[in-house]
Amino acid sequence: MSEPTLKVAGLRTHFFTRHGVVKAVDGVSFTVEPGKILGLVGESGSGKTMTGFSIIGLVDPPGRIVEGEIRLKGRDLRALAPAEWQAVRGDRIAMIFQDPMMTLNPVLRVDTQMIEAVRAHAAVSAEAARERAREALVRVGIPSPDERLVAYPHQFSGGMRQRVAIAIALINKPDLVIADEPTTALDVTIQGQILAEVQKLCRESGTALIWITHDLAVIAGLADEVCVMYAGKIVERGTVNQVLDSPLHPYTRGLLDSVPSRNRPGAPLRQIPGMTPSLLRLPEGCAFRERCARATETCLSEPPLYPLGDRQVRCFHPIHAEDEEPVV
Amino acid sequence: MNLPTDVPASGTESPAIAVPAPSPTIAFGAPEETPFHRIAADFAASRIALFGLALFALIVLCALFAPLISPQNPYDLAQLDVLDSRLEPGARSGDGKQVFWLGTDDQGRDMLSAIFYGLRISIGVGVTATLCALTLGLTMGLTAAFFGGRVDGFVMRIVDIQLSFPAILIALILLALLGQGIDKIIIALVAVQWAYYARTVRGAALVERSKEYMEAARCLALPASRIVFRHLLPNCLPPLIVVATVQVAAAIALEATLSFLGLGLPITEPSLGLLISNGFTYMLSGKYWISFFPGVALLATIVSINLVGDQLRDVLNPRLQR
Amino acid sequence: MLVFVIRRLMQSVVVLFVMSLLVFVGVFAIGNPVDILINPNADQEDIERAIRGLGLDKPLWEQYLVFLKQAALGDLGKSFAFNVPALQLILERMPATLELATAAMLIAIVLGLPLGLWAGLKPDSFAGKTIMAGSILGFSLPTFWVGLMLIMVFSVYLGWLPSNGRGPTTELFGIPVSFLSWDGIKHLIMPATNLALFKLSLIIRLTRAGTREALLQDYVKFARAKGLSNTRVVGVHVLKNILIPIVTVIGLEFGSVIAFAIVTETIFAWPGMGKLIIDSINVLDRPVIVAYLLIIVTLFIVINLVVDVLYSVLDPRVRLADAKA
C-alpha cells in the first residue's frame, strides 16, 4: 500500500488574541488516499476552514500551527521553508475558496491569472501556458474558452467564476485539492453540475480532494469518507454511508435530523437546542455536553476519539443501532 | 409570539460599530463588551495615540486657562514696554521683573503669553467652526439620504461641486466678499467643511438604509424621527467621528493659513497664524523666535489631534477588522 | 466610451455656466465699483461719463450678458491695477504656477508611492512606523510655517538656496520653464518641496491604507495559494488594485495643489497666479479676480474630466460596464 496523499496527525492551530487563546483546530487527525474525496463537515466556528488553511500553510497571524504532523505523500510540510512552500502551493496542493467574486482579482484578466499559475511552477513560454489554460477551461466545461480567456472576472456569472477557480486549481495537476465551501455561494442547479465535474476530474487524475462544507446533502453525493467537526475537534469519522445512515455521535445525529427532508411532513422541525459555544469559553469536558440530551457526569471530562470498528467517534455515549428515537 | 417593541440598533452584520461579525476564517464570539469599551480598548492599544490625546488635553487646558497661566496679558497695552521688543528667548525685561522665556515680538509682547492667548482663539475658532459644519452637514446628509430621489440628487450635486474646489480658494473668495472678523472666518470655515460631513453621513446613511433592520423598523411603523435618531444616526457615527476629528485640525490649520495671508482674523484677535505672520519679516534678520514658537504651538495642536484621529480611524474602520 | 465623454463634456459646460454666474454675482457685489474706479473728487459729469463708459449704469442682468459675450470672445476686462487685459495677465503667470505645481506633484508621487507601499507591507517594522509618523507630521505641519522654516535654515543660516523668486527661464515648446538650468532648479526646489509636503503625506497614507486593505482581500490569499512569489503578489495583484483609487485622488489633488500654490508663492515670492490673486484681492482688482476664478474653474473641470476618463480606462469594471450600457 503506497503512502496516503495526505496524512494529518494531531494538528493544533491556535489563535493568540487579546481576549485569549482560540483553539480553532484542536487535535485533528485523518488521512486521504489518492483519488479519494474526504468531506469535512461542520458549522461556522467548527475549525474546518482553519484545518484547510493549516494544510496549505496559509494561517495568518495571530494564528499559528502549534503542534501536529502534516505529510503530503510522506513529505513533512511543516518543515518547509517559505520558498519551498511557494513551490508546493498551486503545484502539489491547490485550494478553492468560497467566494469566487473575491478570489479572482477583479482588475486582472482571466488568462493573466491562469498563466501566472502555470509559469510560477514551470518554465514554459507564455503561449504554452496559455494553451494549458485553454485546455483547463475546456476540462471544467466552459464554452468558447478563447473569448473567456481575455475577459475579466466580473463579466462571468458566479458559477462560471467558480469553474475558472477550479480550473486554476487543477491546472498543474496537484496531488491534493482543498475546496472550502466552493458551492455555498451558488444556486442549487449549478452546484450539482460542479459537484459532478469535480468528482469526475478527481477520479480521472487520482487527485485527492478535501471538500469542506456545512451542507450534509452535498457530502452525501460526493464524498467517500466524512469527518464531522465540532468546536475544533473531529467528533465522528467514517465512510459516508456509515456516518449518514447510522450516525454515532449525537451531534451528527442532530445535524441529520434537522435536515427538513428527513422530517415527517406536519411535524415540527427538529433543532439542536442551544448554540455553538464561543471558542473562548468552551464548556468543561465534552464541548457538546450542554446541548446533548445524553450527557451525564462522565461527560464532564473530555472524551477521546474512540475507534468503533473501522469508524471513530468522540463520545462516551455514542448512539447504537438499537436506539430508535432521535436523541435531541 | 411576541414581537419585539424595538429593533436592535445594529443588525447581525452591521460592520460599523458592532463586534466583528463571524467570518469564514475566524469565527468565535468575544466576551461581553459594549462597542464603546471595545473601541476604547483598541484605541488605547496605541501608545502614540494616547500621547496625542494627552498632549491635546494639555493644550486645551492651556488655552482655557490662558489668562491664569500667562505671565503677562499681551493685549493689555498698559503692560507692554516697547523697549522690551525683539528680545531673545530667556531675556529679562527692562525692569527686571519678568523673564521672557520665549522672547518678545516687535511690540514687546511676551511670546509665551501671546501663544497661550493665541491658542485660545485658534482652537476656539477651529472647534466652533467644526461643530457648526458638522451640524449643517449632518442635517443635509441625513435629509438627502432619508428623502432620496431629487432631494438627494440636488444636495449631492452641490456637495460634489463644492468638494471639487479646494478649500483655500473658497475660503479666500468668501473672506474677500465678507471682510474680516471672527464670525466671518467661522462662516468661511463652515462653508468649506460642511460638504465633507454631508457626504460622509449620506454615504453611511444610505448603506444603513438598505439594511434589513431598517426595513424591519419601517414595518413596525416607527415614526421617522425615531428611525433617524435611534437607528440611523448611531450607525453613521463612526465615520463621522473620524472625519470630525481630522477636520478640527484642518480647520485650525486653514484659519492659521488665512490669517497668515492677511485675510483671516483682525489684529485685535490674534490667532497663532497672525503671530506667525507678524514674525515673517523678522525671519531674515535672524529673529526666528517670533514666528518659530507660535509655529511649534500650532504644530503641536494639529499633530496631537491628528494622532488621535488616525488611531480612531484605524479602530473604527470595518474593513480592517478581521 | 464616446458617449461617456460627450455626456461629461455637456455636464461640464453646464457647471461652467453656473460658476460664471456665481462668480459674476459674487465678485461684482464687492463694494461699489464706482467708488473704487472713479475719483470721487471728479465732478458729477465726469463720474456719469465714466459710469456709462464702463457699462455700470445698465441693470445687473444686462451687465452679465455683456460679460458673457465678452468672455466668449476672450475678453475678461482689463485689470484696474495694471491696465492690461486680465486674461493676458493671468496667462502670463500661469506657466510659473503650473511648473511649481507639477514639480510638487512629481516629488509627492515619486517619494510617496514607494514609501506608502513599504509602510503598508510592513506596518509594524521600525521603518513602517517611522514613515507613518513622518506622514502625520507632514500633513500636520502648516505649509506656510514650513516654508518659513525652510527659508530660515537653507537661506539664512546655510545660505545654500535663494529665498525668493524664480530662476531664469528658457522656452520649452513655447512655454517658459525654469527647471532646465541649475540656477532655475535652485530656485524651484524649496517652494516645490514645501508645496509637495502635504500631498506627499497624503499619498503615503493613501497608499499605506490601500495596501493594508488589499492584503486582507481574498484574492491575495488565492494568489498565495497558487504559489506566486511575494514580488508578484504585491507588485502585480496588490499594486494594480490600489493604483486605481490612488491615481484618481492624485488627479483631483492636482487642482488643489494649483490652488494651494497661493500660499507658497506668497512666501517665496514666486511670480505665479497665486501671488497675483492675493494682491488683486487686497486691492479689489475685480477683473483679475473674475478672470482668475473662471480660469481656475475651467482648469478644474478639465482635470475632473481627465480623471474620470482615466479612471474608466484603468478600471476594467467601469470601462466594460459602460460599454455594455
Integer Cα distance of B28 and A281 in angstroms: 9
A56 has a pLDDT exceeding 50:
yes
Q: Are residues A156 and A24 in the same domain?
A: no
Contact B31 A49 (CB under 8 A): no
Most C CBs within 10 A among B56, B122, B164, hence the mutation to make, goes to: B164
Give the burial string for B66-85 (b: 16+ CB within 10 Å, else e): beeebbbbbeeeeebeeebb
What does the block give as the cell for C122? 510592513
Contact A107 C227 (CB under 8 A): no
Give the lowest-confidence range in A249-253, A261-265, A307-311: A261-265
> What pLDDT sits at residue B22?
35
The answer to whether residue A101 sits within a structural domain is no
**Helix H or strand E segment including C160:** none
A179 has a pLDDT exceeding 70:
yes
C-alpha angle B20-B23-B24 in degrees, rounded to nearest 5: 165
Q: Convert the pLDDT of each residue in A95-104 to its tens digit.
A: 998 877 778 8
**Residue with the larger pLDDT of the pair A135 and B87:** A135
A259 has a pLDDT exceeding 50:
yes
Strand partners, A30: A8
Give the lowest-confidence range in A148-152, A265-269, B291-295: A265-269
> What pLDDT sits at residue A258?
76
- What secondary structure letter does DSSP report for C153? I
Integer Cα distance of B130 and B295 in angstroms: 22
pLDDT band at B283 (very low <50, low <70, confident <90, very high): confident
B311 has a pLDDT exceeding 50:
yes
Question: For a pLDDT cut of 90, what percent of chain A falls above it?
Answer: 16
> What pLDDT sits at residue C32?
56
Question: For a pLDDT cut of 90, what percent of chain C falls above it?
Answer: 9
- Please name the chains neighbouring A, where neighbouring means 3+ C-beta pairs under 8 angstroms: B, C
- What secondary structure letter does DSSP report for C272? S
Chain C nearest CA to A180, separation (Å): 12
Q: How many domains, in total, are found in chain A?
A: 2
Q: Are residues A69 and A208 in the same domain?
A: yes
Residues 250-269 of B with CB under 8 A from C: 253, 256-257, 260-263
Q: Convert the pLDDT of each residue in B216-252 to its tens digit.
A: 766 777 676 666 677 667 777 778 888 888 899 989 9
> What pLDDT sits at residue B201?
84
Q: Are residues A181 and A290 in the same domain?
A: yes
B-chain CB neighbours of C144 within 8 Å are 256-257, 260-261, 273, 276
The answer to whether residue A163 sits within a structural domain is yes
> What pLDDT sits at residue A103?
84
Chain A nearest CA to B212, separation (Å): 20
Q: Which residue range forms the structural domain that includes residue A143? A: 106-173
The answer to whether residue A99 sits within a structural domain is no
Closest Cα in chain B to A214: B24
A-chain CB neighbours of C210 within 8 Å are none
> What pLDDT sits at residue C321?
56
Q: What is the mean pLDDT of chain C?
A: 80
Question: For a pLDDT cut of 70, what percent of chain B falls above it?
Answer: 78
Residue C84: strand, helix, or coil? coil
Sign, Cα dihedral of A68, A73, A74, A80 = negative
Q: Are residues A21 and A72 in the same domain?
A: yes
pLDDT band at C197 (very low <50, low <70, confident <90, very high): very high
A-chain CB neighbours of B321 within 8 Å are none
The mean pLDDT of C171-175, rounded to a whole number, is 76
Three-class HEC string of chain B = CCCCCCCCCCCCCCCCCCCCCCCCCCCCCCCCCCHHHHHHHHHHCCHHHHHHHHHHHHHHHHHHCHHHHCCCCCCCHHHCCHHHCCCCCCEECCCCCCEECCCECCCCCEHHHHHHHHHHHHHHHHHHHHHHHHHHHHHHHHHHHHHCHHHHHHHHHHHHHHHCCCHHHHHHHHHHHHCCCHHHHHHHHHHHHHHHHHHHHHHHHHHHHCCHHHHHHHHCCCCHHHHHHHHHHHHHHHHHHHHHHHHHHHHHHHHHHHHHCCCCCCCCCCCHHHHHHHHHHHHCCCCCHHHHHHHHHHHHHHHHHHHHHHHHHHHHCHHHCC
Closest Cα in chain B to A59: B25
C-chain CB neighbours of A105 within 8 Å are 219, 223, 237, 240-241
The distance of Cα B157 from the centroid of its chain, to the nearest Å, equals: 25
pLDDT band at B13 (very low <50, low <70, confident <90, very high): very low
Q: Are residues A133 and A241 in the same domain?
A: no
Contact A280 B24 (CB under 8 A): no
A-chain CB neighbours of B29 within 8 Å are 278-280
Integer Cα distance of A106 and C59 in angstroms: 58
Q: Are residues A168 and A202 in the same domain?
A: no
Q: Give the strand pairing for C170-172 and C175-177.
A: antiparallel
B202 has a pLDDT exceeding 80:
yes
CB A110 within 8 A of CB A150: yes
CB B164 within 8 A of CB B211: no
Q: Are residues A68 and A214 in the same domain?
A: yes
Chain B nearest CA to C28, separation (Å): 10
Contact C232 A152 (CB under 8 A): no
Integer Cα distance of B6 and B10 in angstroms: 12
Q: Are residues A220 and A294 in the same domain?
A: yes
C-chain CB neighbours of A56 within 8 Å are 225
The distance of Cα B50 from the centroid of its chain, to the nearest Å, equals: 17
> What pLDDT sits at residue B27?
37
Partner A contacted by C313 (CB < 8 A): no
Strand partners, A230: A233
Integer Cα distance of A129 and A127 in angstroms: 5
> What pLDDT sits at residue B15?
31
Strand partners, A72: A6, A75
Give the lowest-confidence range in B111-115, B286-290, B314-318, C186-190: B314-318
Partner B contacted by C279 (CB < 8 A): no
C-chain CB neighbours of B173 within 8 Å are 26-27, 289, 293
- Partner residue opposite A280 with nearest CB, options B22, B29, B41: B29
A192 C-beta neighbours (distance < 10 Å), count: 14
**Residue with the larger pLDDT of the pair B295 and C20:** B295
The mean pLDDT of C222-236, rounded to a whole number, is 87
Q: What is the mean pLDDT of chain A?
A: 85
Chain B nearest CA to A49, separation (Å): 7
Q: Are residues A224 and A318 in the same domain?
A: yes
**Helix H or strand E segment including C194:** helix C182-215
Chain B nearest CA to A105, separation (Å): 18
The answer to whether residue A182 sits within a structural domain is yes
Please name the amino acid found at residue A27.
Answer: G
The answer to whether residue A57 sits within a structural domain is yes
The mean pLDDT of A112-127, rounded to a whole number, is 89
pLDDT band at B10 (very low <50, low <70, confident <90, very high): very low
- Please name the chains neighbouring C, where neighbouring means 3+ C-beta pairs under 8 angstroms: A, B
Q: Give the strand pairing for A93-96 and A176-180.
A: parallel
Sign, Cα dihedral of C124, C129, C130, C132 = positive
The mean pLDDT of B2-16, rounded to a whole number, is 32
CB A299 within 8 A of CB A316: yes
> What pLDDT sits at residue B17?
32
Three-class HEC string of chain A = CCCCCEEEEEEEEEEEECCEEEEEEEEEEEEECCCCEEEEECCCCCCHHHHHHHHHCCCCCCEEEEEEEEEECCEECCCCCHHHHHHHECCCEEEECCCHHHHCCCCCCHHHHHHHHHHCCCCCCHHHHHHHHHHHHHHCCCCCHHHHHCCCHHHCCHHHHHHHHHHHHHCCCCCEEEEECCCCCCCHHHHHHHHHHHHHHHHHHCCEEEEEECCHHHHHHHCCEEEEEECCEEEEEEEHHHHHHCCCCHHHHHHHHCCHHHCCCCCCCCCCCCCCCCCCCCCCCCCCHHHCCCCCHHHHCCCCCEEECCEEECCCCCCCCCCCCCCC
B-chain CB neighbours of A50 within 8 Å are 25-26
Contact A58 C227 (CB under 8 A): no
The mean pLDDT of B301-311, rounded to a whole number, is 88
Closest Cα in chain C to B175: C281
B129 has a pLDDT exceeding 90:
yes
B-chain CB neighbours of A279 within 8 Å are 27-29
- Partner residue opposite A56 with nearest CB, options C218, C225, C232: C225
Most B CBs within 10 A among C28, C131, C148, C206, hence the mutation to make, goes to: C148
Q: Convert the pLDDT of each residue in C67-83 to its tens digit.
A: 677 767 666 666 767 77
A46 has a pLDDT exceeding 70:
yes
CB C215 within 8 A of CB C238: yes
C141 has a pLDDT exceeding 90:
no
Closest Cα in chain C to B284: C156
> What pLDDT sits at residue B133?
93
Q: Which of A150, A173, A196 is the last residue of a domain?
A: A173
Q: Are residues A63 and A194 in the same domain?
A: yes
pLDDT band at A321 (very low <50, low <70, confident <90, very high): low
> What pLDDT sits at residue A40?
92
Q: Are residues A206 and A280 in the same domain?
A: yes
A324 has a pLDDT exceeding 60:
no
C-chain CB neighbours of A102 within 8 Å are 217-219
Cβ-based interface (< 8 Å): residues of A facing B: 15, 18-19, 22, 24, 44-45, 49-50, 53, 60, 63, 98, 180-181, 278-281
Q: Are residues A311 and A231 in the same domain?
A: yes
Integer Cα distance of A19 and B129 in angstroms: 40
Does the predicted interface ipTM exceed a cut of 0.85? no
C200 has a pLDDT exceeding 90:
yes
C40 has a pLDDT exceeding 80:
no
Identify the residue whose cell numbers are 489563535.
Answer: A15
Q: Give the strand pairing for A311-313 and A233-239.
A: antiparallel
pLDDT band at B3 (very low <50, low <70, confident <90, very high): very low
Chain C nearest CA to A249, separation (Å): 34
Closest Cα in chain B to C251: B164
Partner A contacted by C241 (CB < 8 A): yes
Integer Cα distance of A143 and B60 in angstroms: 68
Q: Convert the pLDDT of each residue in A198-257 to its tens digit.
A: 888 888 888 899 999 988 888 888 889 999 999 889 999 999 988 888 888 888 888 888
Q: Which of A129, A149, A173 is the last residue of a domain?
A: A173
The burial class, CB within 10 Å (0-12 / 13-18 / 19+), for B178 is middle
The answer to whether residue A98 sits within a structural domain is no
The mean pLDDT of A286-311, rounded to a whole number, is 85
What does the block give as the cell for C96? 510659473
The answer to whether residue A2 sits within a structural domain is yes
Q: Convert the pLDDT of each residue in C104-138 to its tens digit.
A: 999 999 999 999 999 988 888 888 888 988 888 88
B25 has a pLDDT exceeding 60:
no
- The domain that holds A308 is classified in CATH as 3.40.50.300
- Partner residue opposite B307 with nearest CB, options C18, C136, C278: C136
Q: Which of A173, A205, A231 is the last residue of a domain?
A: A173
How far CA A221 is from CA of A199, A207, B88, in Å, comes to 10, 18, 88
Integer Cα distance of B130 and B251 in angstroms: 7
Partner B contacted by C321 (CB < 8 A): no
Q: What pTM value is reported for the model? A: 0.76
Residues 112-171 of C with CB under 8 A from B: 133, 136-137, 139-145, 148-149, 151-152, 155-156, 163
Integer Cα distance of B102 and B295 in angstroms: 12
Integer Cα distance of C315 and C309 in angstroms: 10
> What pLDDT sits at residue B262?
80
Question: For a pLDDT cut of 90, what percent of chain B falls above it?
Answer: 7
Contact A53 B25 (CB under 8 A): yes
- Partner residue opposite C140 with nearest CB, options B286, B288, B303: B303
**Helix H or strand E segment including C172:** strand C170-172
